[in-house]
Amino acid sequence: MPDIIFQDGSIRQNQWVVVFRPESGEPLDIPEQRQVLIPADLWVANRERYAGNENVGVWLDSHDEPETLANHVNELPLIAVNFPKFSDGRGYSIARLLRERFGYKNELRAIGDVLLDQLQFMKRCGFDTYELRPDKDIRKAAKSLNFFSQGYQAATDTDLPLFRRRAS
Amino acid sequence: MYVYDEHDRKMAAERVAQFRDQTQRALAGELEEDEFLPLRLQNGLYIQRLAPMLRICVPYGMLRSVQLHRLARITRDYDKNYAHFTTRQNVQLNWPALENVPDILAELAEVEMHANQTSGNCIRNTTTDQFAGVQADEITDPRPYCEIIRQWSTFHPEFAYLPRKFKVAVNASEKTDRAAIQVHDIGLQIVRNDAGELGFRVHVGGGLGRTPMVAPVIREFLPELDLLTYLEAVLRVYNRYGRRDNKFKARIKILVKALTPEGFAEKVESEWAHIKDSPTRLTPEAIERIQSYFTEPDYAELDNATELLAQQRFENRAFDQWLQHNIDTHKKPGYAIVSLTMKETGTPPGDVTDQQFEQIADLADEYSFGEARVTHHQNVVLADVRQDRLLELWQQLGPMGFGTANLHTLTDIICCPGGDFCALANAKSIPVAEAIQRRFDDLDFLYDLGNIDLNISGCMNACGHHHVGNIGVLGVDKKGQEFYQVSLGGASQHDASIGKILGPSFAQDDMPDVIAKIIDVYVDTRTEEESFLDTYRRVGITPFKERVYA
C-alpha cells in the first residue's frame, strides 16, 4: 500500500484499506485483521454495529453529502474523502463542513487523485493526512504543503482572516 | 489605489516561486499536461493557436504609471511590442514563451501586479465601473469592495477547483451600470436600505456564452459587513451542486435555473445561516482600512472652466466633437473624466503598443495623478483631468492614436481577438470590426446615429459580449467556412437584455452591407429622440429582417 503523508510532511506506512462499494445485492467484503474504510452510507445504515470500532472508518465520494454523518462524526476514527479527479473540488467543501460544521476531531484523509500541487489547499480545508497518487514524488510533499506562509482567508487551519490579523 | 503591505508582497513572491517550480516540473515531464493545465490557467497562461497567451490581471481596471511602464517593458522584452485590453479590464500578451512566464510574473510582482486567477475554473478578477470614485451619482466608491473580494478570493483553498469559471462585478451608480453586473455569475449592486444603511443587492446566475442569461436577484439587501460570508455561502452551494458532468452546463446560471432563483436563494440562505457570524464576517475597521487607499487625490479648488471651454470649442470643431463624446462629468468642479479610445480604424480594437503604454503612463503622470483605468469597452480612462488642460491634452492624443472621438458610437466596437489569435474561435473578428469601421468613417454620420453598442465575438464563448450588444455579431463555423450571425436588441446596463438572432448568417464580405441596412432601418423609422435600442424595442425585429434579407 502507498505511504501516507502527514500534515507536518512526515511519511508513514498506511494501515487503512479502502473497501469499495459492493455490487448491488452483494455483501460488504471486509478483510479481517485490518483497519478498513467503508462507504459512509453503509456505515450509517449499520451504525450500531460499527460505532466506536477503532478499526472501521468511512470514505465519502465527492458527490456524497457529509450531512449524512453529521452528529456521529466523532464516533469514527478516520474519515477519508475521495477525489475522483484532482480537478473535482467538492472534497474541499466536504472537508470544511466535517471540521467546521460537524466538529470532526479525528483523522481526515484525502484519497484518490491526490497530487502535489493541491496539498496546501487540502491542508487549509482540514485534511491532515494525504494518500498521494503513487506515481508522484512523495519526497516533494513537505514543500508543497507549505508553499505559502499564510493565506488571506479564514479556513479550517485558522480562525483569523488576514483582515483580522492586520487589525491586531 | 491599493498598495501592497508586507503580507501581499510575501504572498505574491511565494506565488511566483510556486509557478516557477510548477513550470520546471512541467518542462521536466513530472507533471502531465492535464495536471499542469489548471495550474498554468490560474496563472493566466493559455496555450493558443499560434503561441501561449498570458492574461495579466488589472484589478478592477486600475493602473499606476509605473505599472504601465512595466507593461511596456514586458511587451518589448518578452513579446512583440504590443498587448491587448480585454472586456474584463485585463491585459493580454499574445506571444510569450512558456519558459519565460515565471520571469514575466516576477517582473509584474515587482510593481504589485500578477496574473492570478485570470483563467481557470476559479474566482476571476472582480470588475467594476471605470468611473468609480469620480462620478457624481454613485452611492459609494465600489473599489474598496472589489479589493476586499480580491483578497478573499485570492488562493481561496475551498474554491480553486469550481465546476467552471466564476466572475463577480460590482456597481455603485444608481443610474448607470458600466460594469454589466447582470451578465456576471454574481452581480453586486451597492444600495442603501430604508434605514440608510449600506449594502448590496445580490444578482446571481447571469452570463453570456452558449446560454445567455440576465441574472435574477437572489437577495434584495445584504448588509455591508456580511459581504464575504454571503459570497462564501453562494460559492459553497455552487461548488457542491454545480454540474461537473458537462462543461457547457457547469456555470452557476444553469444551477440557478435548475433550482429556480427562489430555490437557489433558499439553499444559500440556509448555508449562510451557519457561517454568517464566523470570523470571515467583515469588520468596520477592515473596510475602513481598505477604503483609506482609495481616498481622493489632491484636487485643486477650482470652478468649472465653462467659458474657457466654450471659447476653445467655438474655435476648434474637432475639439468640440471630442469634448461632446469622450468627456464625462466629474464630481469635482473644474475636473473632467477623459476616455482615450483604443479604436482607431486599422488597429484591432483594444490593442496597445509598448509606445502607447509609455504614452498613457506619461499622460497619466502629467494630467491625472499618475493613474489610468482600463474599461469594459477596451478603452482607457484618465479620470481626473483639469478642464483648463483638456485642449492641451487633446492636442497630443491624435498622433498617439487615442484621439478618435467615437466613444459609444457604432465604431467604438467591442471585439475579442478572434480567429487571428484564439484557439477557441470559429471565425475571425478583427477584420470584421475593421471593415465596419472603414464603411462608417464619417464622424458626423456616426454622431447623428448616437450611442450604438456593436459587439463582436469570434465564437459562442462570447468574450466580445455579442449577446448584450445593441448589434451583436457572432462568428460561426459552417462546414469549415467562417460565417457571422447577427443579433439585435441586446443591452448590458440596468435594462440588460439578451439580443435576438436576426436570421441566417452572412459571409464576412457581406457584413458591412448588412450593418448598413440595419442602420438604414433605424434612420428611416426612428423618432427624433430615439436611440437605436429605443427604436428596436418599439418596432421589433421584423422591419430589420425584411430589409436585410430582401
ipTM of the complex: 0.97
| Sequence-distant (≥ 6) Cβ neighbours of residue B466 within 8 angstroms | B208, B455, B456, B457, B472, B473, B474, B487, B490, B499
CATH number of B414-548: 3.30.413.10
Range list for CATH 3.30.413.10 in chain B:
135-293, 414-548
Is A148's CB within 8 Å of B11's CB?
Answer: yes
- Yes or no: say if B56 and B345 are a contact pair by the CB < 8 Å rule: no
Is B158's CB within 8 Å of A93's CB?
Answer: yes
Please enumerate residues of B whose Cβ is less than 8 A from a Cβ of A.
5, 7, 10-11, 14-15, 17-18, 22, 30-31, 35, 38-39, 121, 148, 151-152, 154-163, 228, 236, 239-240, 244, 274, 278-280, 282-283, 285-286, 289
- Yes or no: say if B493 and B179 are a contact pair by the CB < 8 Å rule: no
- Give, rounded to a whole angstrom, the gap between the first and last alpha carbons of chain A: 46
Query: Residue A117: which of B39, B244, B283 has the nearest Cβ?
Result: B39
To the question of domain B135-293 being in CATH 3.30.413.10, the answer is yes
Distance CA(B384)–CA(B3), nearest Å, equals 19
Predicted confidence (pLDDT) per residue in B289-301, tens digit:
999 999 999 999 9
Distance CA(B494)–CA(B182), nearest Å, equals 8
Phi-psi region of B418 (alpha: psi -120 to 50; beta: other; left: phi over 0): left
Nearest CA in chain B to A137: B30
Give chain A's domains with CATH numbers.
4-167 (3.40.50)
**A140 DSSP 8-state letter:** G
Nearest CA in chain A to B286: A163
Query: Residue A117: which of B15, B22, B154 has the nearest Cβ?
Result: B22
Is the pLDDT at B439 greater than 90? The verdict is yes
Is B158's CB within 8 Å of A117's CB?
Answer: no
Q: Which residues from chain B sit within 8 angstroms of residue A166, using beta carbons?
A: 5, 7, 286, 289
Predicted confidence (pLDDT) per residue in B394-412, tens digit:
999 999 989 889 999 999 9
Other C-beta atoms lying within 10 Å of the C-beta of residue B274 = 14
Distance CA(B274)–CA(B230), nearest Å, equals 11
Is B22's CB within 8 Å of A120's CB?
Answer: no
Q: Which residues from chain B sit within 8 angstroms of residue A122, using beta carbons?
A: 157
Q: Which residues from chain B sit within 8 angstroms of residue A152, using beta carbons?
A: 11, 151-152, 154-156
Please enumerate residues of A whose Cβ is less than 8 A from a Cβ of B.
86-90, 92-93, 96, 101, 115, 117-118, 120-122, 124-125, 137, 147-155, 159-164, 166-167
| Sequence-distant (≥ 6) Cβ neighbours of residue B374 within 8 angstroms | B58, B61, B63, B85, B89, B90, B91, B130, B380, B381
B51, A53, B26, A149: which is closest to A157 by C-alpha? Answer: A149
For chain B, percent of residues with pLDDT exceeding 70 = 99
The average pLDDT across A3-27 equals 90
Distance CA(B420)–CA(B427), nearest Å, equals 8
Amino acid identity of residue B244, one-letter, is R
pTM of the model: 0.93
Element (H, E) at B16: helix B6-27
- Yes or no: say if B59 and B150 are a contact pair by the CB < 8 Å rule: yes
The average pLDDT across B416-426 equals 86
**A51 DSSP 8-state letter:** T
B129, B54, B119, B123: which is closest to B89 by C-alpha? Answer: B129
- Number of Cα atoms under 13 Å in the Cβ half of residue B270: 6
Could you give the 3-state DSSP secondary structure of residue B408? coil
Q: CA of A154 to nearest chain B CA: how many angstroms apart?
A: 6
Predicted confidence (pLDDT) per residue in B474-497, tens digit:
999 988 889 999 999 999 888 889
